[in-house]
């Protein structure tokens, strides 16, 4: 059997364009000898459509495009993910569906059974689950069709979420292979985890699995592709590339091969490039502007922006203050030269003095503190937003996850922007990314990587004067935010209790800042923003 994979990059709500993309990929797969073609979950609508499904014409237009696809396909079946109305009178109004399309045949409909409502997922808000599962006859074989979560097991979800296992039901009813339409968002290590899980399931049931995943960025979520086919003994028959569109054909008679993995740094780099590129293209932006401080965070963000958008579409702005070192200005200049981007220098020394003078009487008797530090950051935000307005650039923020977690950032200052590129990347990973970017030649100045990080908003300022060492901060941050451990449980693992409690309080107290932050690209298992639902006004401290 030859199964075609349409690993395509669809745009949420662009139903007609998605329809055309599906048809083009289908024709390409058929011309390559596919006997059946898979698309990702909700390929026709894009994933996740969220509350667009409630718009009066959204589902009817989806069904019109599905019918147009049915009329266009030939004898080779096409499996399309889409949103349909629920056939039941009670329950949620819609279903997450797969339509099996073939020439002169009515649409066969399969509905998703397991509807995730955790982390970034909210499917039970919209969809009703399938009442049962049964295989269908395709190419002379009983085939079990599943949609994304339907093949996941509690072992890999780290919780007992579901009362049934659709794959077990399909196998019990005679399915001899399992097809899966998926839109599984990326996080570090997720591609390898999916293949490991499916391989174990293939061995357990003794049947092959064909898994077609979405690719592309939709708001904060990044879909990595990495579609694959696993034979009945758990071997990888076929694997598609990560982070780009592809159309391919998997042969059931092919010999298994060893599938290489990208390093975590390489994965995150490719994910962020895809996330930036798609956020720009799908939102209608052409160019970016960002502040260049000479530090590592802005350097990594600039390198990613250039890789995603091209050097001609990225502008950097250096905004020196009284406290900016000549070394930082030189590092920013070298970075801009290495990347080939335009760099503007707009000092904030005079505006800062003017602004302070405006408060001379009101602040009389008060010593300078974080108020004056934040004034400088907000002046820089004003400058960058002015550049954005005047030239139509989208402003990229350059704060990392470690800083955002503990509020080491200025609301309406360095948090200004339309996309937070590295807001889900811990500082320790920022260093790894910088070194990976420099693996062949020095793009990011070595000094930007090795010098102690500083906001340079007061004399001799260093991040570590305020924050714990980033190696400690990031470990505690992961345990508290991603693993949901209490401060006591974290301290039991060998961390200083006072440090743990300080970090926990800072994370909790700064939720109000993060609620007002720009959308951030998700690359870890728990990002601030989508999937993170903490109250601002709360007093739970454990």
Instruction: Give a three-class secondary structure readout of 356-421.
Output: HHHCCCCCCCCCCCHHHHHHHHHHHHHHHHHHHHHHCCEEEECCCHHHHHHCCCCCCCCCCCCEEC
What contacts 24+ positions apart, CB below 8 Å, involve 173-176?
173/133, 173/134, 173/135, 173/142, 174/135, 174/142, 175/135, 175/142, 175/143, 175/144, 175/207, 176/141, 176/142, 176/143, 176/207
Greatest Cα-to-Cα distance within the chain, rounded to the nearest angstrom? 87
Residue 141 buriedness (CB in 10 A; 0-12 / 13-18 / 19+): middle
Residue 266 buriedness (CB in 10 A; 0-12 / 13-18 / 19+): middle
The reply to whether 500 falls in a domain is no
Out of 35, 98, 112, 123, the active site residue is 112
The reply to whether 260 falls in a domain is no
Considering the domain architecture, whether residues 101 and 40 belong to the same structural domain is answered as: yes
Instruction: State how far the Cα of 502 lies from the Cα of 490, in Å rounded to an integer.
Output: 12
Which pLDDT value is given to residue 255?
A: 82
Instruction: Single out the residue in 255, 278, 299 at which a domain terminates.
Output: 255
The CATH number covering residue 36 comes to: 3.60.110.10
Considering the domain architecture, whether residues 70 and 219 belong to the same structural domain is answered as: yes
Instruction: State how far the Cα of 1 lies from the Cα of 143, in Å rounded to an integer.
Output: 12
The reply to whether 528 falls in a domain is no
Residues 326, 314, 397, 464: is their CA dihedral positive or negative? negative
Considering the domain architecture, whether residues 233 and 299 belong to the same structural domain is answered as: no
Considering the domain architecture, whether residues 223 and 130 belong to the same structural domain is answered as: yes
Which pLDDT value is given to residue 260?
A: 83
The reply to whether 82 falls in a domain is yes
End-to-end Cα distance, the chain:
55
Considering the domain architecture, whether residues 25 and 156 belong to the same structural domain is answered as: yes
Q: What is the pLDDT of residues 144-163, one digit of tens each?
A: 999 999 999 777 776 678 88
Cα 94–122–144 angle (5° rounding)?
A: 60
Active site residue 283: no
Active site residue 245: no
Range of the domain at 122: 2-255
Instruction: Single out the residue in 410, 435, 463 at which a domain terminates.
Output: 463
Backbone angles phi, psi at 15, to 5 degrees: -60, -45
Which pLDDT value is given to residue 452?
A: 79
Instruction: State how far the Cα of 300 lies from the Cα of 227, in Å rounded to an integer.
Output: 29
Instruction: Single out the residue in 230, 255, 280 at which a domain terminates.
Output: 255
Out of 41, 123, 220, 267, the active site residue is 41
Considering the domain architecture, whether residues 248 and 273 belong to the same structural domain is answered as: no
Instruction: State how far the Cα of 528 lies from the Cα of 405, in Å rounded to an integer.
Output: 8
The reply to whether 231 falls in a domain is yes
pLDDT < 70 positions in the chain: 158-159, 455-461, 463, 541-542
Pick the closest to residue 522 from 436, 431, 420 (CA basis). Answer: 420
Considering the domain architecture, whether residues 206 and 334 belong to the same structural domain is answered as: no
Considering the domain architecture, whether residues 192 and 136 belong to the same structural domain is answered as: yes
The reply to whether 382 falls in a domain is yes
Cα 150–213–56 angle (5° rounding)?
A: 75
Considering the domain architecture, whether residues 283 and 247 belong to the same structural domain is answered as: no
Which pLDDT value is given to residue 461?
A: 62
| H/E segment holding residue 507 | helix 497-509
Instruction: List Cα–Cα distances, 333 to 167, 327, 379, 444, 451, in angstroms.
Output: 57, 10, 21, 11, 16
Out of 98, 123, 148, 267, the active site residue is 148
The reply to whether 503 falls in a domain is no
Considering the domain architecture, whether residues 130 and 230 belong to the same structural domain is answered as: yes
Strand partners, 288: 314, 394
The CATH number covering residue 292 comes to: 3.40.50.620
* Structural contact between residues 250 and 210, judged by C-beta atoms closer than 8 angstroms: yes
Which pLDDT value is given to residue 540?
A: 82
Which pLDDT value is given to residue 505?
A: 94
- The count of domains in the chain is 2
Considering the domain architecture, whether residues 217 and 357 belong to the same structural domain is answered as: no
Instruction: List Cα–Cα distances, 345 to 288, 317, 318, in angstroms.
Output: 16, 6, 5
Q: What is the pLDDT of residues 303-333, one digit of tens each?
A: 999 999 999 999 999 999 888 788 889 999 9
The reply to whether 474 falls in a domain is no
Which pLDDT value is given to residue 225?
A: 97
Considering the domain architecture, whether residues 30 and 174 belong to the same structural domain is answered as: yes
Active site residue 41: yes
């Amino acid at each position: 059997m030859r199964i075609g994979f349409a690993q395509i990059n669809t745009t949420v709500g662009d139903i007609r364009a998605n329809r055309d993309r599906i048809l083009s990929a289908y024709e390409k797969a058929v011309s390559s000898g596919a006997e059946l073609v898979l698309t990702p979950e909700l390929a026709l609508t894009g994933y996740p459509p969220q509350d667009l499904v409630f718009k009066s014409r959204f589902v009817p237009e989806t069904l019109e495009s599905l019918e147009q696809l049915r009329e266009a396909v030939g004898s080779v079946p096409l499996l399309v993910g889409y949103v349909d109305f629920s056939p039941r009178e009670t329950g949620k109004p819609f279903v997450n569906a797969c339509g099996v399309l073939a020439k002169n045949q009515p649409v066969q409909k399969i509905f998703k059974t397991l509807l995730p409502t955790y982390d970034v997922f909210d499917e039970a808000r919209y969809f009703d689950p399938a009442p049962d599962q049964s295989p269908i006859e395709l190419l002379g074989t009983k085939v079990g069709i599943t949609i994304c979560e339907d093949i996941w097991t509690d072992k890999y979800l780290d919780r007992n979420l579901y009362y049934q296992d659709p794959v077990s039901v399909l196998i019990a009813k005679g399915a001899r292979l399992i097809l899966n339409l998926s839109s599984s968002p990326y996080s570090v290590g997720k591609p390898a985890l999916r293949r490991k899980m499916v391989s174990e399931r293939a061995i357990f049931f003794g049947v092959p699995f064909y898994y077609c995943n979405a690719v592309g960025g939709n708001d904060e979520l990044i879909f990595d592709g990495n579609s694959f086919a696993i034979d009945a003994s758990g071997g990888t028959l076929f694997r598609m590339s990560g982070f780009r569109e592809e159309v391919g054909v998997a042969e059931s008679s092919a010999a298994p091969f060893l599938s290489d993995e990208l390093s975590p740094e390489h994965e995150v780099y490719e994910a962020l490039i895809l996330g930036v590129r798609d956020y720009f293209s799908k939102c209608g932006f052409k160019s970016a502007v960002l502040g260049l401080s000479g530090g590592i965070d802005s350097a990594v963000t600039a390198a990613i922006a250039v890789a995603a958008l091209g050097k001609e579409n990225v502008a950097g702005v250096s905004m020196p203050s009284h406290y900016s070192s000549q070394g930082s200005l030189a590092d920013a200049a070298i970075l801009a030269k290495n990347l080939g981007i335009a760099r503007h220098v707009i000092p904030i020394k005079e505006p800062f003095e003017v602004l302070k003078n405006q408060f001379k009487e009101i602040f009389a008797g008060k010593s300078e503190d974080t108020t004056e530090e934040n004034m400088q950051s907000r002046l820089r935000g004003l400058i960058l937003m002015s550049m954005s307005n005047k030239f139509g650039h989208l402003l990229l923020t350059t704060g990392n996850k470690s800083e955002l977690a503990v509020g080491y950032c200025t609301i309406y200052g360095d948090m200004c922007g339309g996309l937070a590129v590295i807001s889900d990347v811990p500082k320790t990973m920022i260093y790894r990314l910088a070194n990976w970017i420099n693996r062949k030649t020095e793009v990011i100045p070595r000094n930007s990587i090795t010098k102690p990080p500083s906001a340079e908003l007061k004399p001799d300022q260093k991040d570590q004067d305020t924050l714990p060492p980033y190696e400690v901060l990031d470990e505690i941050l992961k345990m508290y935010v991603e693993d949901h451990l209490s401060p006591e449980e974290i301290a039991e693992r060998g961390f200083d209790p006072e440090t743990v409690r300080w970090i926990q309080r800072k994370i909790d107290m700064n939720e109000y800042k993060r609620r007002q932050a720009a959308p951030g690209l998700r690359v870890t298992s728990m990002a601030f923003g989508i999937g993170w639902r903490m109250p601002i006004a709360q007093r739970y401290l454990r």
